[in-house]
Amino acid sequence: MDGDAKVPDVSGSLMKPWKVVDSIRCDDARPLPEVNLYVEIPEDSDVECPVCGNRCKSINGAEEDIWADMAKGRGIRLVVRSRVAFASCPDCGNHKLQFHWEDPESDFTEC
Ligand SMILES: [Zn+2]
pLDDT of residue 67: 85
Domain ranges in the chain?
A: 19-110
pLDDT of residue 3: 42
Q: Which residues are CB-neighbours of 83 under 8 A, at least 6 positions away?
A: 38, 39, 40, 41, 60, 61, 63, 64
Distance in angstroms between the alpha carbons of the first and the last residue of the chain:
24
| Predicted structure pTM score | 0.73
| Cα of 72 from ligand 1 centre, angstroms | 38
User: Cα-Cα-Cα-Cα dihedral of 17, 40, 37, 67, to 10°?
Assistant: -90
Peptide bond into 90 cis (omega under 30): no
| Cα of 98 from ligand 1 centre, angstroms | 14
pLDDT of residue 49: 95
| Cα of 29 from ligand 1 centre, angstroms | 42
| Cα of 2 from ligand 1 centre, angstroms | 44
- Distance, CA of 108 to CA of 90 (rounded, Å): 32
| Cα of 61 from ligand 1 centre, angstroms | 18
The tens-digit pLDDT sequence of the chain (111 residues) is 444 445 555 555 566 788 889 999 998 888 888 889 899 999 999 999 999 999 999 999 999 998 887 665 668 888 889 999 999 999 999 999 987 666 677 777 776
